[in-house]
Amino acid sequence: MNKCRRCGVIIDGAAVNCPLCGAHVNEGNSPSVYDYPAVSVKTQKQIVWQWSLFISLLAIAVSMVVDLAVNKTITWSVHVLFGLALPWLCIARPLLLKFNLRKHITWGFIGIIALIFYLNGWVNDFAEPWAFWLGAPVAVLVWQSVLEILCALDKSGRADYEMALTKICLLSLICIGISFAWLKECTWGWYVCAGRAAIDVCALCIFAKHSYFGELKRRLHI
C-alpha cells in the first residue's frame, strides 16, 4: 500500500496514479504531469472594489443621462461626477496599490487641489481664479512641509521623498510660467513655492549629494 505524495490518500499497490488527484505514484517529489495548473482566485476585497467602481460609474452615467434628458445640457450631474471621482482619486486608488505613505499623501493633496479648483469654478466660474493664485500654492506649501518632515524621519524611503520634493520644484516653476501665460502676471504664492522648493533641492545637493544625484541618474536612466 502506498500513500499519495500530494493528497495523502492510501493507494493500492497496483495503481499507477492516485484515484483522487491523479498524481503519478512513482514520481516521488518530482513535478507531475498530472499536477493541476495554478488558478488565480479573486479575493473578496477585489470583488468589493470592482463592484464599487461599477456602481460609481453607473451612478455617473445615469445622472448624466437624466441631466441631458431634462435640461438638455450637463449641469448638476457634474457635481455627481466630481463627488464620486474625488474619493476614488484620493482614497481608492492608493488603497488598491501596495501601501505607500508617500503615494497616499500625494494623491490626497492632488484631491485637495482638485477640490479647490472645483469650488472656484462652481462659485464664480473662474472669473477670479483664486484657486490658482492662492488656494493651490497654500496646498503645495503644506504638501512640501509634510514631505520635508517625512524625508527627515523615514531613512528607508528618503529617496522617494527627495524625488517628490524635486518634482514639486518643477511643478512650481511650471505654474509660474502658466501664471504669466494665463494671468499675465504671477502672484507671491507660486514664487514662495518655487523658492522654498529650490532651497530644498539645494540642501539635497549639498548635504545628500551622492545619494541624491545617484537617485536622479537612476530615475533618468543616465
Does residue 27 register a pLDDT over 70?
Answer: no
pLDDT single digits (tens) 2-11: 777 777 777 7
Does residue 39 register a pLDDT over 50?
Answer: no
Collect all residues with Cβ–Cβ distance below 8 Å to 59 and sequence separation of at least 6: 80, 84
**Residue 26 confidence (pLDDT):** 64
Q: How far is CA 156 from CA 17, 84, 122, in A?
A: 52, 35, 42
At 152, list the grid cell: 527627515
What is the pLDDT confidence band of residue 210, given thresholds at 50, 70 and 90? Answer: confident
Does residue 193 register a pLDDT over 90?
Answer: yes
**Residue 30 confidence (pLDDT):** 47
pLDDT single digits (tens) 61-109: 999 999 899 988 888 888 888 888 887 777 666 666 666 778 888 888 9
d(C-alpha 101, C-alpha 157), whole Å = 10
17 forms beta bridges with: 24
Q: In angstroms, what is the C-alpha Rg of the chain?
A: 28
**Residue 108 confidence (pLDDT):** 85
Among residues 165, 171, 142, 160, the alpha carbon closest in space to that of 103 is found at 160
d(C-alpha 132, C-alpha 90), whole Å = 20
Q: Where are the alpha helices (DSSP H) in 10-76?
A: 44-71
Provide the whole-model pTM. Answer: 0.67
